């Protein structure tokens, strides 16, 4: 018998929902049919009022909590916050976590077959937006018989989906938790994404996106993209205290092998990622980030854009996050306040940069748990344990 | 007759000094013979007491001021600060500006011939350190009959050379101006350099550094390296106010062509650089940055490392510089104070990020000019105009 921690959701099995109704996309194209891979943790109550949707970030997927195999060394990516007694308490909530369209972990994306050609979609896979994802997630909710989510929750790009839920389906979301996100990318954010895209697209093994048909993987480009990404996920201080200027060996070798620990870390992160993630998916996800800007059609006035929202918001930022710094979360919180919405904004002291949203930090956990407890109480959810 | 601005040094011609005495390097190797390309502005006085040395940064060179041709559209890279009546006033000072060893603008470097093989040095060119450069610069001073510089001045990597001058040749430097620099790179700084290096070295056209012999240039890698660099040279605010989220055309095109202005800017910067700069030089310059850490041999105590310095220092930082932020300059200034040195530290309000050290900014110019005027007065330099 596998022994999982008492606060783990334990062994989980991904499921697949197939959709035959075409999905019209913001780019003007239509996805004729598609699969969404998802996991659930906890039990949907009879009234179907206790469902929570988890939206994933740039390189995330459906496996947010628990273990796929008894001997898995690592749990899902948000296991710190999902489980019995955790912030998103599976004693109260039925948690749904999916892989977004365009992803490379089972949901329909560039590595899936294009029914029109019988080939992989590859670079022909249509561009996705945060709005498209939210529509597809709403269809998954329909399929699961969930009329209204008790909460929609996400960090980073996931937080953008949460905000979009509150605007696209205000009647279907009871609470929104937008964590380490931004209402739109800055020019610098876009610049970093563009470097990542150029790294991938200029890799000779990219073959205009048809690398799989050429039996190639643009590993060099993916590695560089991930290395750049990692620099923006960690704070300067976190990098400094983790690696400082520590050398791998005793002395400088005056060559281009690894000399400093931080070089070794980045190369390892890049190598691991480049052998597991699809390049077309990475491109598409960075574009979805760049495009997100709900205020754009409201003359740039975010307080106007958020008018449709009805639910209470929890907005969380982290002091050392320089990818989406606290000022971006404050921008959102202020717009919500100006629009007369209910919003709690908390800036959590953390040295871990953008990555802090993934980690357990007592004050973060306390704030998060309190928001979810209130949600559970107000929705009349009973503790099942 | 060419018409240059009244405060320009006008038409200048680079000169070459050849050295036959071998130079022992920190890496353990010896450079048997070498050329240094340099320019001078102003006139060396009879006492040879008015010489100022300019040290260049990562992608810099000897052409700091004036024009090479009558119809040059752009003057040298530091023309804003060098000329008659400017901060480094050529009415008082005789300015020497060189291309460092390992460079690709005329001084001996990877594109020069290796006398031992008759081939280009290429990747066999020995690794240079800031200390090596300073030694080679001292030999150039000998050649020019300059016993002691009235000032040694530089920004960024140039500022590190200035600091090293004060430690290696305290009796040969009367004043030191260390601008937008740092006493050592942070882990994050090294991480950005490592991404740049990996971009270049993983370009299939790099050929282990022998690209010229293969008739290739690792343009893709150089372009990516420069794009990453540019993000760190500009402040987030400068990028925001320069580009914001402005689109190139009216609408999103949902493709991977240029959509946002910032993408266009970065690609252009990268393309221009990749067709003019040598990849091996870029690698070498980033390593010289990484290695610089005068405190390392003093247990990390900078105040001990700076003990040998005798000259007054001007230390300048810029509020929005996030590559080498004000805290790094303060670290140097505090160490100098702790060591009992004379130091003026100024943090200049500027929105332009690291690039601010290249630009004219009234308060920066005033501080810089005041420091140089005091130097001129104390050295008894007469105005020649």
Size of interface A-B (CB pairs under 8 A): 145
pLDDT tens digits for B108-124?
Answer: 999 999 999 999 999 99
Contacts of B4 (CB under 8 A, 6+ apart): B10, B11, B66, B67
> What is the distance in angstroms between the Cα of B240 and the nearest Cα belonging to chain A?
5
* CA-wise closest residue to B281 among B57, B75, B51: B57
Q: How far is CA B334 from CA B166, B185, B330, in A?
A: 16, 17, 6
The radius of gyration of chain A's CA atoms, rounded to the nearest angstrom, is 21
User: How high is the pLDDT of residue A383?
Assistant: 54
Instruction: Tell whether B301 is within 8 A of chain A (Cβ).
Output: no
C-alpha B216/C-alpha B235 separation (Å) is: 34
Instruction: Tell whether B4 is within 8 A of chain A (Cβ).
Output: no
Residue A241: alpha-carbon gap to chain centroid: 26
Q: How far is CA A370 from CA A164, A197, A311, in A?
A: 23, 39, 16
* Confidence band of B213 (pLDDT split at 50, 70, 90): very high
Instruction: Tell whether B198 is within 8 A of chain A (Cβ).
Output: yes
Q: Look up the ipTM and state it.
A: 0.94
User: How high is the pLDDT of residue A247?
Assistant: 84
C-alpha B276/C-alpha B338 separation (Å) is: 43
Q: Catalogue all structural domains in chain B, each as residue range(s) with its CATH number.
A: 15-184+293-379 (3.40.50.1820), 190-286 (1.10.1740.110)
Q: Pick A187's closest partner by Cβ from B224, B245, B287.
A: B245
User: How high is the pLDDT of residue B382?
Assistant: 63
User: How high is the pLDDT of residue B3?
Assistant: 81
C-alpha B170/C-alpha A320 separation (Å) is: 40
The radius of gyration of chain B's CA atoms, rounded to the nearest angstrom, is 21
Q: Which residue has the tokens 């975010």?
A: A302
Q: Which residues pair with B51 in a beta bridge?
A: B94
Is 80 exceeded by the pLDDT of residue A10? yes
Q: Which residues pair with A314 in a beta bridge?
A: A177, A344
Contacts of B132 (CB under 8 A, 6+ apart): B23, B25, B26, B101
C-alpha B292/C-alpha B206 separation (Å) is: 26
Q: Pick B231's closest partner by Cβ from A191, A204, A245.
A: A191
Q: Pick B243's closest partner by Cβ from A187, A202, A267.
A: A187
Contact present, A237 and A320 (Cβ < 8 Å) = yes
* Share above pLDDT 70 across residues of chain B, in percent, rounded to a whole number: 98
Contacts of B89 (CB under 8 A, 6+ apart): B83, B369, B372, B373, B376
C-alpha B223/C-alpha B218 separation (Å) is: 9
Contact present, B284 and B197 (Cβ < 8 Å) = no
Contact present, A189 and B244 (Cβ < 8 Å) = no
Q: Which residues pair with B97 in a beta bridge?
A: B39, B54
Helices (H) and strands (E) in chain B, counts: 10, 12
> What is the distance in angstroms between the Cα of A156 and the nearest Cα belonging to chain B?
19
C-alpha A132/C-alpha A284 separation (Å) is: 12
Tell me whether residues A204 and B199 touch, CB distance under 8 A: no
User: Do the bridges between strand B34-41 and strand B15-19 make them parallel or antiparallel, or are there none, so unpaired?
Assistant: antiparallel
Which of the residues of B are catalytic? 156, 321, 354
User: Do the bridges between strand A30-31 and strand A23-24 make them parallel or antiparallel, or are there none, so unpaired?
Assistant: antiparallel
Tell me whether residues A191 and B266 touch, CB distance under 8 A: yes
Any idea which of A146-160, A186-200, B238-252, B331-345 has the lowest mean pLDDT? B238-252
Q: How far is CA A79 from CA A74, A160, A315, B19, in A?
A: 9, 21, 20, 64
Structure tokens at A90: 């599976």
Helix (H) or strand (E) holding B232: helix B219-233
* CA-wise closest residue to A26 among A291, A304, A279: A291
Q: Dihedral sign, CA of A260, A262, A264, A270?
A: negative
Q: To probe the interface with A, which of B27, B110, B188, B282 has the most A CB atoms within 10 Å?
A: B188
Q: To probe the interface with B, which of A110, A183, A194, A229 has the most B CB atoms within 10 Å?
A: A194
* Confidence band of B252 (pLDDT split at 50, 70, 90): confident
Instruction: Please count the other Cβ atoms lying within 10 Å of the Cβ belonging to residue B340.
Output: 11
C-alpha B141/C-alpha B51 separation (Å) is: 9
Contact present, A291 and B222 (Cβ < 8 Å) = no
User: How high is the pLDDT of residue A384?
Assistant: 47
Instruction: Tell whether B257 is within 8 A of chain A (Cβ).
Output: no
pLDDT tens digits for A318-341?
Answer: 999 999 999 999 999 999 999 999
* Confidence band of B155 (pLDDT split at 50, 70, 90): very high
Give me the residues of A, 110-129, that contact B with CB < 8 A.
Answer: 126-127
C-alpha B39/C-alpha A101 separation (Å) is: 59
Helix (H) or strand (E) holding A30: strand A30-31
Q: Pick B262's closest partner by Cβ from A191, A228, A244.
A: A191
* Confidence band of A72 (pLDDT split at 50, 70, 90): very high
Helix (H) or strand (E) holding B154: strand B151-155
Q: To probe the interface with B, which of A188, A202, A298, A331 has the most B CB atoms within 10 Å?
A: A188
pLDDT tens digits for B39-53?
Answer: 999 999 999 999 999
- Of all residues in chain A, what percent are helix, strand and coil, respectively (each to 5)? 40, 15, 45
Burial class, A44, CB count within 10 angstroms (exposed 0-12 / middle 13-18 / buried 19+) = middle
Is 60 exceeded by the pLDDT of residue B361? yes
Going by the annotation, the residues of the binding site of A for substrate are 226, 355
Q: Which residues pair with A35 in a beta bridge?
A: A18
Q: How far is CA A114 from CA A32, A217, B262, in A?
A: 9, 19, 33
Q: Mean pLDDT across chain A, nearest whole number?
A: 96
Backbone dihedral region of A207: left (phi > 0), alpha (psi from -120 to 50 degrees) or beta?
left
Tell me whether residues B195 and A28 touch, CB distance under 8 A: no
Going by the annotation, the residues of the binding site of B are 226, 355
Tell me whether residues B223 and A195 touch, CB distance under 8 A: no
Contact present, B329 and B184 (Cβ < 8 Å) = no
Instruction: Tell whether A295 is within 8 A of chain B (Cβ).
Output: no
* Confidence band of B383 (pLDDT split at 50, 70, 90): low
The A313-318 sheet, strands edge to edge: A15-19, A34-41, A94-98, A51-55, A151-155, A176-179, A313-318, A343-348
Q: Mean pLDDT across chain B, nearest whole number?
A: 96
Going by the annotation, the residues of the binding site of B for substrate are 226, 355
Q: Which residue has the tokens 């996991």?
A: A39
Contact present, A36 and A133 (Cβ < 8 Å) = no
User: Do the bridges between strand B94-98 and strand B34-41 make them parallel or antiparallel, or are there none, so unpaired?
Assistant: antiparallel
Contacts of B239 (CB under 8 A, 6+ apart): A186, A187, A188, A191, B231, B262
Q: How far is CA A228 from CA A64, A275, B325, B346, in A?
A: 24, 16, 20, 32
User: How high is the pLDDT of residue B384?
Assistant: 47
Taking CB atoms and an 8 Å cutoff, what residues of chain A touch B245?
184-187, 190, 293, 296
User: Do the bridges between strand B51-55 and strand B151-155 make them parallel or antiparallel, or are there none, so unpaired?
Assistant: parallel
Q: What is the mean pLDDT of residues A128-140?
A: 98
DSSP string, A224-285: HHHHHHHHHHS-HHHHHHHHTT-BSSSS--SSSS--BHHHHHHHHHHHHHHTTS-HHHHHHH
Contacts of A193 (CB under 8 A, 6+ apart): A185, A286, A287, A289, A290
Instruction: Tell whether A36 is within 8 A of chain B (Cβ).
Output: no
Tell me whether residues B190 and A223 touch, CB distance under 8 A: no
C-alpha A72/C-alpha A145 separation (Å) is: 31
Instruction: Tell whether B109 is within 8 A of chain A (Cβ).
Output: no
Instruction: Tell whether A283 is within 8 A of chain B (Cβ).
Output: yes
User: How high is the pLDDT of residue A195?
Assistant: 97
Taking CB atoms and an 8 Å cutoff, what residues of chain A touch B28?
254
C-alpha A71/C-alpha A73 separation (Å) is: 6
Q: Pick A256's closest partner by Cβ from B187, B197, B266.
A: B197
Residue A315 has φ and ψ, to the nearest 5°, of: -115, 125
The DSSP call for residue A147 is: S
Q: Pick B245's closest partner by Cβ from A184, A224, A240.
A: A184
* Residue of A112, A156, A168, A350 marked active site: A156
Instruction: Tell whether B295 is within 8 A of chain A (Cβ).
Output: no
Instruction: Tell whether A190 is within 8 A of chain B (Cβ).
Output: yes
User: Do the bridges between strand A15-19 and strand A34-41 make them parallel or antiparallel, or are there none, so unpaired?
Assistant: antiparallel
Is 60 exceeded by the pLDDT of residue B326? yes
> What is the distance in angstroms between the Cα of B330 and the nearest Cα belonging to chain A?
17
User: How high is the pLDDT of residue B350?
Assistant: 96
* Confidence band of A250 (pLDDT split at 50, 70, 90): confident
Instruction: Tell whether A279 is within 8 A of chain B (Cβ).
Output: no
Is 80 exceeded by the pLDDT of residue A34? yes
- Angle (CA) B214 B191 B167, round 5°: 95
Tell me whether residues A224 and B199 touch, CB distance under 8 A: yes
């Amino acid at each position: 018998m596998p022994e999982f921690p008492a606060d783990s959701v334990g062994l989980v099995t991904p499921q697949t929902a197939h959709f035959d109704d075409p999905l019209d996309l913001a780019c003007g194209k239509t996805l004729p049919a598609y699969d969404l891979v998802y996991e659930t943790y906890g039990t949907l109550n009879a009234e179907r009022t206790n469902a929570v949707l988890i939206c994933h970030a740039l390189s995330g997927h459906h496996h947010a909590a628990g273990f796929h195999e008894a001997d898995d060394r690592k749990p899902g990516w948000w296991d710190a916050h999902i489980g019995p007694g955790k912030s998103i308490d599976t004693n109260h909530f039925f948690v749904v976590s999916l892989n977004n369209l365009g992803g490379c972990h089972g949901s329909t994306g560039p590595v899936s077959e294009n029914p029109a050609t019988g080939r992989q979609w590859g670079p022909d896979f249509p561009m996705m937006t945060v709005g498209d994802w939210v529509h597809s997630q709403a269809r998954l909710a329909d399929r699961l018989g969930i009329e209204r989510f008790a909460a929609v929750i996400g960090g980073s790009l996931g937080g953008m989906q949460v905000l979009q839920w509150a605007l696209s389906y205000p009647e279907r979301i009871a609470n929104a938790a937008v964590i380490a996100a931004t209402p739109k990318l800055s020019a610098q954010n876009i610049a970093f994404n563009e470097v990542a895209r150029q790294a991938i697209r200029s890799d000779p093994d990219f073959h205009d996106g048809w690398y799989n048909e050429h039996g190639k993987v643009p590993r060099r480009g993916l590695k560089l993209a991930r290395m750049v990404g990692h620099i923006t996920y960690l704070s300067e201080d976190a990098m400094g205290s983790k690696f400082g200027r520590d050398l791998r060996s005793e002395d400088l070798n005056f060559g281009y092998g690894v000399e400093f620990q931080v070089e070794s870390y980045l190369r390892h992160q890049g190598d691991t990622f480049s052998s597991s993630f699809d390049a077309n998916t990475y491109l598409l996800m960075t574009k979805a980030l760049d495009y997100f800007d709900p205020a754009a059609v409201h003359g740039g006035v975010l307080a106007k854009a958020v008018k449709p929202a009805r639910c209470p918001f929890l907005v969380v930022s982290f002091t050392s996050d320089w990818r989406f710094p606290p000022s971006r979360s404050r921008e959102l919180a202020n717009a919500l306040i100006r629009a007369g919405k209910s919003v709690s904004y908390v800036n959590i002291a953390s040295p871990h940069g953008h990555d802090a949203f993934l980690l357990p930090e007592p004050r973060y956990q306390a704030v998060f748990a309190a928001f979810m407890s209130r949600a559970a109480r107000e929705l009349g959810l009973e503790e099942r344990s």
